[in-house]
Amino acid sequence: DTEVTQTPKHLVMGMTNKKSLKCEQHMGHRAMYWYKQKAKKPPELMFVYSYEKLSINESVPSRFSPECPNSSLLNLHLHALQPEDSALYLCASSQATGKDTQYFGPGTRLTVL
Amino acid sequence: AQSVTQLGSHVSVSEGALVLLRCNYSSSVPPYLFWYVQYPNQGLQLLLKYTSAATLVKGINGFEAEFKKSETSFHLTKPSAHMRDAAEYFCAVTRPTGRRALTFGSGTRLQVQP
């Protein structure tokens, strides 16, 4: 099973809302990632967790708050977002970082009103 | 820092024709290179990867790519295009040591004409 699941598939939120994106994998992978993808653009790395510890934060605004409760789950907590944060948010996992294949979930399409 | 450049944001081929998607890399150390495909409203799927073993890499769906150090290239090819190959293709690079996170190229949209 090489599946990464993400919920919800779609999310519409106002600028004052608090919401969370969830990602789950059961492949025993120890690295998990959040990417942001704007329309017609490549994915941009936001965060990397390695062995449940944050290893890379690409200077993401604090209104995005990642959390890795255990080795299978990755959350992205959202608060006070801006309309320009509307995008497809992709989660990925890999055995470790580097040459190991990253397996991507289908993404959450976020719209901020 | 490493980076990849994909030449051609759009490529159109006829069904049955050769597919060639270009990717050039820049890296201060021997890189790991990947090709991913993204179908509309979906996540990314790995087509193939180069991790310093054989320079000719075969992937899924009939795609292959050749790592050419002298040309700093990792172009993706398929002998005969199918309609189902229409999608966005991303080349990506990462380092074997240090900061090991994917950096994607800008993407190439492949159209396949009947």
Structure token pair of residue A101 = 């294949």
Nearest CA in chain A to B4: A42
Q: Which two tokens stand for residue A52?
A: 């449940």
Query: Which chain B residues have a beta carbon less than 8 Å from that of A102?
Result: 44, 46, 102
Nearest alpha carbon to residue B76 among B99, B93, B56: B56
Listed as own residue / partner, the contacts of B51-56 with beta carbons closer than 8 Å and 24 or more positions apart are B51/A99, B51/B96, B52/B96
What confidence score (pLDDT) does residue B54 get? Answer: 86
State how far the alpha carbon of B3 is from the alpha carbons of A27, B27, B33, B48, B97, in Å. Answer: 29, 7, 10, 18, 15
d(CA A16, CA B68): 51
Of B61, B38, B57, B56, the C-alpha closest to B48 is: B57
User: Is residue B59 within 8 angstroms of chain A, CB to CB?
Assistant: no
pLDDT at B97: 66
Q: Does A56 touch chain B (CB under 8 A)?
A: yes
By DSSP bridging, strand A103-104 and strand B10-14 are unpaired
A101 interfaces chain B, CB cutoff of 8 Å: yes
CB of B3 less than 8 A from some CB of A: no
Cα B44 to its chain centre, rounded Å, is 12
For each of chain B's 114 residues, which pLDDT tens digit applies?
Answer: 778 999 999 999 999 999 999 999 988 777 899 999 999 888 899 999 998 778 899 999 999 999 999 999 999 999 999 999 999 999 999 876 666 678 899 999 999 999
Q: What is the pLDDT of residue B45?
A: 94
Residue A7 identity: T
Cis peptide before A8 (omega within 30 of 0): yes
Output the tens digit of pLDDT for each of chain A's 113 residues. Answer: 669 999 999 999 998 889 999 999 999 999 999 999 999 899 999 999 989 999 888 889 999 999 999 999 999 999 999 999 999 999 999 987 666 889 999 999 999 99
Mutation target for A interface from B6, B21, B29, B44: give the one with most A CBs within 10 A.
Answer: B44
Q: What's the pLDDT score for residue A12?
A: 95
Structure tokens at A30: 């120890």
